[in-house]
Structure 1
Amino acid sequence: MSTILIVDDEYDIAQAIRGILEDEGHHVEVCSNGRHALQCINEKFSDTTFQLILLDVMMPFMSGLDLLKHLRDDKRFNQVPIVLMNNTEIKVNPANYPWNDFLRKPFDCKTLLKVVNRFVHADQES
């Protein structure tokens, strides 16, 4: 079973994505913003291996881009695929913010699953 982390401050969106991915057989953890994600990673998820992180760009307390930098500097997460999510194109240099893919909000279930399945498979064992 693959484990996916969703970091999004929009509760309804995060729960909808969670439901879709859990229906596909993934284990899903959700954090409400970048600061919350760092806290959970260091306390609650310290032994968790994520196969994918879905990361909203615009969030309070710590943006997705700031969290992305922290994750890429952490040896536990520097190789984990990260998919950014935002309602507009991201206008930063990808070399400074190395993400693996981008989902433009709003996206449909088919698009979400296509992107997720490129990085993880529900039938793989942890």
Structure 2
Amino acid sequence: MPVVLIVDDEEDLLLLCRNLLTREGFRVVTARDGEEAVWVLRRIMGQGTLDLVILDIMLPLRDGVEVVRFIRSQKNIGKVPILALSAVSDADWKIRTIEEGADDFLAKLFSSRELVARVHALARRVEKERDSGPMPKARYDLGDLVVDTYRYETRIDGREIRLTPIEFRILVYLVSHEDVVIRREELMKVLWGESWEVDEHNLNVHIWALRRKLGEKSDSPRFIETLRGTGYRFRSSALARMQEGAGKPASSV
């Protein structure tokens, strides 16, 4: 039975989410503030497994972004999917949360159907990864950029950069299809499975956060090219030189 941790300081919402997911076949653990969430996470790391975290961002004692950061820093649970919740519509909060490692973001007030759909999409992704086994081992040496799935590392100019699990998966997929245009729909299926309940804007934010960490400039993408209305392409050095020589600047997110 998959285990879900729900963290929210609103008692009614916590109860609603717990009842919904219990009926869907999940075992639910709860916490009501950021400090309690970290305490529960430490207990889970020592005693069992965790399959998903649903986390309110505006929490007392320790906010949700700090909890996301804590989860991603832990070896045992560092790759667990995180669905962030927030009543705040400020885009900066969403970007900051996803940059720190949240996989998906759901604004309050959401419908029961939407919550269940998002949870199942993330759960299917975890199940698919378990069935297919670990990520194929490979090392991509691309001049200034090195992507190493053996060590789960990304380096630019010899300096390691910290990517979230979903950012790393995006980068590996694009790099392994070098110079091939990857449609947005294909990338969303790779990341979230066959569910069409995922907000496309979340993909935009993940790509934006990844490119920012890679040192991309909005007017001159170094690695990831955006083809508006189509998708993305990881540019090889040869392709980049060809485009620059032809005077065709790439578009950007």
Gaps of 5+ in 1: none
Tell me, yes or no, if the aligned pair for 1:4 and 1:54 is still in contact at 8 Å. yes
Provide the residue aligned with 1:76 in structure 2. 76
Instruction: Output one character per residue of 1:89-123: Cα deviation in whole Å (capped at 9) or x when no partner.
Output: 341445641110011101111100110000126xx
Which residue matches 1:23? 23
Structure 1: distance between partners of 2:112 and 2:87:
16
Aligned to 1:118: 121
Q: Residues 103-114 of structure 1 correspond to what in structure 2 (within 5 A)? A: 103-114=106-117
- Report the 3-state secondary structure (helix = DSSP H, G, I; strand = E; otherwise coil) of the residue aligned with 1:46: helix
**Letter matched to residue 18 of structure 1:** R
> Alignment partner of 1:55: what SS?
strand
Counterpart position of 1:8: 8
Residue 47 of structure 2 aligns to a residue in which SS? coil
**Unpaired stretches in structure 2, ≥5 consecutive residues:** 128-253
- Secondary structure in structure 1 of the residue aligned to 2:105: strand
Change (3 A) 1:45 1:14: farther
TM-score (norm 1): 0.88
Distance 2:34 2:21 in 1: 21
TM-score, length-normalised on structure 2?
Answer: 0.45
Do the aligned partners of residues 60 and 95 (structure 1) sit closer, same or farther apart at CA in structure 2, a change above 3 Å counting? closer
Structure 1 distance, partners of 2:3, 2:102, is 18
Give the count of matched residue pairs: 122
Q: How does 1:58-73 map to 2 (within 5 A)?
A: 58-73=58-73
Label 1:97 to 1:15 Cα distance change in 2 as closer, same or farther (>3 A). Answer: same
CA contact (8 A) 2:65 2:97 kept: no
Distance 1:86 1:95, change over 3 A: closer
Query: Highest relative contact order (Cα 8 Å, sep 6+), 1 or 2?
Result: 1
For the residues of structure 1 that align with 2:56 and 2:98, how far apart are their CA atoms?
A: 18
CA distance 1:119–1:96, change in 2 (3 Å) = closer
Code of the residue aligned with 1:40 in structure 2: it is V
Query: Is the contact between residue 68 and residue 97 of structure 2 (CA under 8 Å) also seen in structure 1?
Result: no
Greater helix percent: which structure? 2
CA RMSD across the alignment: 1.7
